[in-house]
Chains A and B, each alone.
Chain A
Amino acid sequence: MAALLSSKLNMTARPAPAQRPSVRTNAVALKPLPYAPDALEPHMSKATFEFHHGKHHRAYADNLNKQIAGKEWDQKDLDTIVMASWNNGNPTPEFNNAAQVWNHEFFWESMKPNGGGEPTGALMEAIKRDFGSFDEFKNQFKAAGMTQFGSGWAWLVTDKSGKLSIAKTPNAVVPVVEGKSPILTVDVWEHAYYLDYQNRRPDFIQTFLDKLVSWDAVSNRYAKAPA
């Protein structure tokens, strides 16, 4: 039956189609916010999100895509591009854009509406063990954010043994390139808080900790961090 069908349909092997230049490559996407832009009011305004996500984050993605269009990295995922462009501490021009796309996705997902409060379970135990108390963790995290001079980020990171520590990085640098697993971040570039807090960076970080952090997300990341 199959032989009859194939002879009727004249289904002989065909030569491979000629190579066509690819017109659509694996561009890095601008991931949407995980919540509505007004969902974190009044702590982080809709206006801030419209610029921070809609302009700054978008520009990093657009500019990265222009840099990698048609090249090897265009077929890679974001994590790979970040590590490759870091180039062992001698970053290529793509790094600032790639890392900033990564950082901003990680930042949005570190927050949620009606966030803040306290973590529970294994993460809270680890915080108490490694900082002495939850309040002391908050103090150290806030101090890191306040003392990151110029633009940058403050982080809660874990190592392979599950030990927590605080890190701060300048500009686009992400602790992943330094072998740490970030589980929480706050953006301390002035564009992250200037419309809502102006020069009052300490107030911004305090509000972030008290009202915005998604401890669910942080706990998940802690549980999933490579051991």
Chain B
Amino acid sequence: MAFVLPNLPYAPDALEPYVDTTTMTIHHGKHHAAYVNNVNAALEKFPEMKSLGIVDLNKVSIWYEFSVQTENTLQHTGGGHFNHSFFWKVMTKPSNSNGPSAELKAAIDKAFGSMEAMKEKFNAAAAGRFGSGWAWLGVKPDGSLGVTSTANQDNPLQQVAEEKMIPILGLDVWEHAYYLKYQNRRPEYIAAFWNVVNWEQVNDNFKAACGGGMPAL
């Protein structure tokens, strides 16, 4: 069954003034839509992988691709579709969220010392990712929380990831995610992002990740 472009969980202006309406419209309606079309097109060449969901596709596709010597098509397009589907859901209307759960807060304090320390690490990962990519907060194989960044449309589910983890929060730092409003001022965009985090979704992601899984996208 082919992948479809999920609807945004909110109107395109819901994240104003932190993420502008035009960016949400183009980011979802053009960039993400293209990844959906392209991953479906790429899967035409690998029909036996069509039955995988997007999470499993990200987890397994890389070995398979190297064995058939392709040009990382599934890595790029499968990554792009997962990353954006995940991203819309970890954001919400500003002040629509009540913050991290007690369990998540405890895990953050344990891993980083404090919420502020975690944000500093996350912000540094996001600002320091040269070129295109993503910053992530996730649950590592040992069960603790970590921060990492990935290049292009890679994510920490994939075999190529330097640091593998189950993502619970992610931030797109491709320039298309912020250029219309922030231009070169990526740190300003990163700071603004914290106003739109959907902590309820992050809490759900955390709970599922502690069990080794992810909620349905």
Contacts and interface: CB of A to CB of B under 8 A. Distances in A.
Nearest to B154: A150
Which of A55, A170, A172, A194: most chain B Cβ within 10 A? A194
B175 A189 contact: yes
A170 B131 contact: yes
Interface residues of B, number: 20
Interface in A180-220: 189-191, 194-195, 198-199
Interface of A: 51, 55-56, 59, 96, 149-152, 170-172, 189-191, 194-195, 198-199
Contacts of B130: 96, 171-172
B30 A194 contact: no
Contacts, number: 54
Given A51-B184, A194-B175, A199-B176, A189 B131 contact: yes
B176 A194 contact: yes
B37 interface: no
Nearest to B72: A149
Nearest to A58: B184
Given A150-B132, A151-B131, A194 B152 contact: no
Interface string B143-178: 000000001110000000000000000000011100
Contacts of B152: 149-150
B131 A191 contact: no
25 contacts: A51-B183, A55-B184, A56-B184, A96-B130, A149-B72, A150-B131, A150-B132, A150-B133, A150-B151, A150-B152, A150-B174, A151-B131, A151-B132, A151-B175, A170-B131, A189-B175, A190-B132, A190-B175, A194-B180, A195-B180, A195-B183, A198-B30, A198-B176, A198-B180, A199-B31
B26 interface: yes
A96 B131 CA distance: 10
A150 B79 CA distance: 12
Contact of A191 (B72, B76, B184): B184
State the majority secondary structure of interface residues on B.
Answer: mixed
A172 B34 CA distance: 25
Interface in B90-145: 130-133
Contacts of A171: 130-131
B46 interface: no
B122 to A, nearest CB: 21
A84 to B, nearest CB: 19
B179 interface: yes
A2 B67 CA distance: 86
B28 to A, nearest CB: 11
The 4 closest A-B pairs by CB, nearest first: A190-B175, A150-B132, A151-B131, A150-B152
A194 B30 CA distance: 13
B131 A199 contact: no
B173 to A, nearest CB: 11
Contact of B175 (A149, A152, A172, A191): A191
A171 B175 CA distance: 13
A170 B179 CA distance: 19
Contacts of A56: 184
Given A56-B184, A149-B152, A198-B26, 8 more contacts: A55-B184, A149-B72, A149-B76, A149-B153, A150-B132, A151-B132, A171-B131, A190-B179
A150 B131 CA distance: 7
Nearest to B22: A198
Contacts of A55: 183-184
B34 to A, nearest CB: 8
